[in-house]
Structure 1
C-alpha cells in the first residue's frame, strides 16, 4: 500500500484541489478512482460521516473534506507553502477560501441550475456581484497568494477551469473577460501553470459530463 492515497473522482474539482497541493509539495501518491454510484467499502470506512470524496489517507490515517486536507498537507510537508506564515494573512486566506466555497460556488450553482427566468436573473446578479467582490480582493496580483499559488487559488480551481466547461456545456456566458478582466486573467494564469495543467481532466470529457449532468444531450 502506498504511504499516501487519494480517494477521488476524475471530474471532481474537490479532488483536484488535493492533487494540486500534493503536486506542489512534490508528494508521491496513489490516486484511487471512486464510483459514487457504487462507493467502495474503503471510502465508506474512511469517510463514514459524509461518504464523499476526496479522502486523503496518510500512513493509514484518513482525512476528509478538501479544505481540511489542504491544511493537513501544508502542515505535514514542507516546501511551497500553501498558507501564509503570518497569522493575519493565514486567517485572511481561510476567510476567502470559505467565501469561495460558501458564497461564490453556491451562487454560481444557483445561477446555472435555475429553471425559472426571474429566479435565474436574480441568481445571476448575485453570482456576478460575488465574483466582482472576489476580483476586487485579487487586485493586480498574479495569484491570490501573490507570486505563487496558495490556498485561495487552489480552492478557486472551480472558477479557474470547471466554470468554463460548464459555460460551454450550457452555452451561456457569465464569467467573461469583459465582465471580470482581472479574475479572467488570473484563471488563464492558473490553468497554464504546468502543475495545474498536468492534473486537469480532459476538457472535452468534462464538457460532455456537464451536459449529461444538466440533462442535455452529449
Structure 2
C-alpha cells in the first residue's frame, strides 16, 4: 500500500470517506488527455490486484479500467480519490470468522444503458461466503469442497427472475435468448436459486 501511495505521489493525501465521488459520471472524452498515460496504467493495474482483498473498491476500479487506452486528467483525479480512500481505511479487508459458514450467496444489480459513452448496460455482482464479501466464485471448488445446494442469487429485477424460472419460453423474450439459456441452465442444474421477496 505504501508503494502505491508513493507511486501516485500522494504521501500526505487528504483522506476521503468513499471510494468514488458521489454522483460523478466519468466519460471517455471529458477533459484533457494525460501527457504520459503510463503511470495511470500502472496504478490501475495495482488496483486490480488490490480488489482481491479489497472488494469494496471493485466498482470504481471497473470504472477507471475503461479509460486505460486514453486516460484524462479527470480519470487520474478518480485514481487519486481511490488512493485517498485507501489511506483512510488501512484496516479494511476480508474478515473470516473461525466458525464461518461455507454457504455462498450472490447479489446482482444492473443499470440499463448506464454507460454515458456507449449506452451499454453495467452489471455488478457481490458474492458472499458466509458473512464475508469475496470476489471469486470457484474458490470452494478449487479447495475441494463440493457445492451441496444452489447458490441463492438475489436480484432486483422481477422480470429477470420470472423469465429464468419459467420453463415456457415466450416470443417476447427471444432478444435475450442466448443469455437466458446460460442462466436457465444454471437454474435447472441447481447451481443457483432465485429467492423471491415479497
- Determine if the TM-score, normalized by the shorter chain, exceeds 0.5: no
The structure whose residues are more often strand, as a share, is: 2
The structure whose residues are more often helix, as a share, is: 1
- Larger C-alpha radius of gyration, 1 or 2? 2
